[in-house]
Structure 1
Amino acid sequence: MAEGGDFKCIPVIDMQEFEGVEQYRKLREASEEWGCFRIVNHNIPVGLMTEMKKVVRDLLDLPMEIKRRNTDVIAGSGYMAPSDKNPLYEALGLYDLGSPQALRDFCSQLGASPHQREILEMYAQAIHDLALDLGRKLAKSMGLFSDLFKDWPCQFRINKYNFTPETVGSSGVQIHTDSGFLTILQDDENVGGLEVMDKSGAFVSVHPWPGTLVVNLGDLAKVWSNGRFCNLKHRVQCQEASIRVSIASFLLGPKEAAVEVPPELVDAEHPLLYVPVTYEDYRKLRIATKLQAGEALELMRAQT
């Protein structure tokens, strides 16, 4: 199933078609060939997605002094102001949307109304459940039956791109991979800009499609799958003078344990590629080396 039109597009996965083996084959193929896919029929109500986007826009429009109250437990999980590197971009966030206390703290920092809190809680529960379901389905696509992901934190980030006429053609966020296992993106319904790199090195535009979600795999998915899954390189480009808002949820990795290759994925044709690594150690490695597009994985190579 394609997104439509004559342009090249990312795979589409229907979440209601996993009764047989065919959809798992499609999921594995999308993960290996692209490292991303769009999901439809994902059981998150469109009405909740719409209400969540309204809440997000209101929070991002708060005065700077209020947004700066959004601090969190690791660097990059709270408020991110526009910077020299990404001058058009700002974000709010928290480390683990699966933690009720963390979500309450996030709401309190920003003075969220009772209605906003309710929407945030409903969305957090729905997206966290979806992230775990996707993790299980990805494991099953590899022939593994695992609830490995159930205790993993799911980082939450709401993004705003302040595009102006002068910035058309420039970068909103530079080329990077995500450091964790997988990301679920509720993109802007009207304003495009997300571009993903295919295996040839060409960038492919991911066009707005309301009601759907985009999933991409990160560096730790490549580690866990012993190099089979693609860690997606992607960026955001300014295509028009407009405000662009998106919601990203990142299934990171275990809080303390290491991500390691399951023994079932190592054999004579697929020797062990990566040593075990915790999410926190890998996150710090990326920061220390300033390698943001998957290059840090080369430092995690197993000795042969």
Structure 2
Amino acid sequence: MSQTLCKAPIIDLNKLEKSKRGSNSWLELCNGVRLALEDHGYFIALYDKVSSEVEKEIFDVMDELFDLPIETKKKNSSDFYFYRWVGQLEAAPLHESFGIVYPTHIQALQSFTTLMWPQGNQRFSETVTSYVKVAAELEQLVDKMVFESYGVAERHYESHIAATTYLLRPTKIRLMVCKLKVKVVIGLLLMSLLLHSSSWLAWSNGRIYAPRHQVLLKEEKQRYTLALFTFNKGITDIPEELVDETHPLQYKPFDNFGLAWYYLSGANSMIHSTAKAYCGINTTASIA
């Protein structure tokens, strides 16, 4: 299989501070975000809201998390694969990740912290709170820009945000022999959009591209990433404004969690779209 490496589009979202909502410069940025997602399925956001201190602290506390005993890590359990600790897999022995559910809710984050550290770990909870606050703000900002660009924000954005839930998955990929730890900060937006792009594909009625992706390690370095997932509660409808003669309806209303379960079941072929197989028009998969 041949692989094509594309140059990732870069969008400076720091310019938004100088752009008034609804102004020409604001709409230009919104359209730039939409076009990047339609053409590439992702982009790199320049967004300087995470301080260098928090950036350092977040990976320091992740070191503490991954250094916990295996029996403690196993307490991060759930029937839903994305919500639990994953490690010691025969198929992926170098991969390890946690599922921190509802990290934007102080009580939920505190419950996770207490589960891992019964004696408490204030530094962990405070650092994750600071980091996730900015990540969620960025995710909501991008959603707003996409909705604005499609002209559906007034009718659909508020209900979309009300249904949004978050999941933070810290991930560690280690080498068999490695003494050097390199903490790599992955662009928040890039990870977020890559990891839930199938739902964007269906919601946009096929307009937003949902690329498959992989992480390649070419150097002997240990890699850490923080991925912020979003899952919408309830049934997601395709906005009627996104259906026209050029874009006839391609997807049925779908359950975001059902889409994730369908992906995890392995029912869809790896060469076909998960969203198309799950809720595409004229497909047989159920949204239940």
Note the residue ranges of structure 2 that are not aligned, 5 or more in a row. Answer: 20-24, 284-288
- Partner residue in 1 for 2:32: 26
CA displacement at 1:150 relative to structure 2:
3.5
Percent identical pairs in the alignment equals 23
What SS class does the counterpart of residue 161 from structure 2 fall into? Answer: coil
For 1:134 and 1:237, the matched residues in 2 are separated by 27
2:248 aligned with 1:236? no
More helix by share: 2
Deviations 1:267-304 (A, max 9, x none): 01110010011112212222233438563323221249
Equivalent residues of 2:203, 2:239 under 8 A apart = yes
Preserved contact between residue 223 and residue 259 of structure 1 (Cα < 8 Å): no
Pick aligned residue for 2:224 from 226, 238, 245? 245
Alpha-carbon RMSD across the aligned residues, in angstroms, is 2.5
User: Which residue of 170, 173, 176 corresponds with 1:161?
Assistant: 173
Letter in 1 for 2:280: R
- Counterpart of 2:104 in structure 1 is 98
1:40 aligns with 2:46: yes
Q: Quote how far apart the aligned CAs of 1:81 are.
A: 0.9
Within the candidate set 221, 235, 238, 2:200 is matched to 221
Q: Distance in 2 between matches of 1:44 and 1:261?
A: 33
Select which of 239, 246, 252 maps to 1:275.
252
Distance change in 2, residues 1:214/1:273 (3 Å): same
CA contact (8 A) 2:86 2:96 kept: yes
Q: Can you list the C-alpha shifts for 1:233-287, whole angstroms capped at 9, x where unaligned?
A: 111223122211111101122x2x2122101000011100100111122122222
Greater gyration radius: 2
Which residue in the other structure is 1:182 paired with?
none
Q: How does 1:252-267 map to 2 (within 5 A)?
A: 252-253=231-232, 255=233, 257-267=234-244
**Residues 163, 240 of structure 1: 8 Å contact kept:** no
Q: How high is the TM-score relative to the length of structure 2?
A: 0.81
CA deviation after TM superposition for structure 1 residue 82, in Å? 2.8
From 95, 117, 122, the equivalent of 1:89 is: 95
Task: Provide the rounded CA distance (Å) in 2 between the counterparts of 1:165 and 1:63.
Answer: 20
Matched-pair contact (CA < 8 Å) for 1:12–1:37: yes
Contact 1:224–1:259 (CA under 8 A) maintained in structure 2: yes
Letter of the 1:284 partner, please give it.
W
Provide the aligned length of Structure 1 versus Structure 2: 257
Give the TM-score of the pair, scaled to structure 1.
0.77
1:97 and 1:292, CA in 2 relative to 1: closer, same or farther beyond 3 A?
Answer: farther
Please give the per-residue CA displacement for 1:26-46, whole angstroms capped at 9, x wherever unaligned: 111110111111111342223
Instruction: Quote how far apart the aligned CAs of 1:121 are.
Output: 1.9
Report the counterpart of residue 163 of structure 2 in structure 1: 151
The one-letter code matched in structure 1 to 2:103 is: L
2:136 to 128, 131, 140: 128
Specify every segment of 5 or more residues in structure 1 that has no aligned partner in the other structure, as ranges: 1-6, 167-187, 191-207
The answer to whether the Cα contact below 8 Å between 1:260 and 1:276 also exists between their aligned partners in 2 is yes
